Amino acid sequence: MQLLDQVGATDFPINAVQVIEQDTSSVPRTVTVNLNQEWSKTASIDHIFTYYHLTPLNRQCYESTYAQGERFETLTISCNFLQPKAYLEICVADNVEKNVLTINDDADVPKCCYPTFPPETPVVCYSLLISCEPCETPQLA
């Protein structure tokens, strides 16, 4: 998994996305991931949006709120036809008083997610590239 882009100041928590399956036999190929709320150790997050390809022609956006450390979603994402990669965007919006995000988190949640929080709410967004093929272990000669 690779972080392609980040808008906002809050770092992406390494354990927020966990690949659990890469299906190379399906058409299109898919990758299944668990999403974990790793932004706060002590509080729930007000809004977490996930934006991805459910099918090659159908993008989905879901909103979730859950306590720290919980798996809040399992997603199966369609891979790109031209390369075995899947794209996932995660946006987190949280009240600044909870001290999870800062005023420097100034991203915009995609409009198709229909965000319904006050405009002054801090938002950070991450764009991820996820491999749809299992890593191969090199053979020693």
- The string of pLDDT tens digits covering residues 126-138 is 999 999 988 754 5
Tell me the pLDDT tens digit for each residue of 72-99: 889 999 998 888 899 999 999 999 999 9
- Average the pLDDT over 54-68 and give the result: 79
The pLDDT value recorded for residue 25 is: 84
CB 37 within 8 A of CB 70: yes
CB 94 within 8 A of CB 46: yes
Whether the predicted pLDDT of 20 surpasses 70: yes
Domains of the chain, first to last: 2-131 (2.60.40)
The pLDDT value recorded for residue 9 is: 97
| Count of positions (residues) in the chain | 141
Own/partner pairs for 111-115, CB < 8 Å, 24+ apart? 112/51, 112/59, 112/61, 113/49, 113/51, 113/61, 113/63, 114/61, 115/47, 115/49, 115/63
Name residue, tokens 């690779």: 2
CA distance 93 to 121: 6
Q: In angstroms, what CA-CA distances link 130 with 85, 104, 107, 119?
A: 6, 27, 22, 31
Vertex 2 angle, CA 77 and 79, to 5°:
25
pTM of the model: 0.89
The pLDDT value recorded for residue 54 is: 79
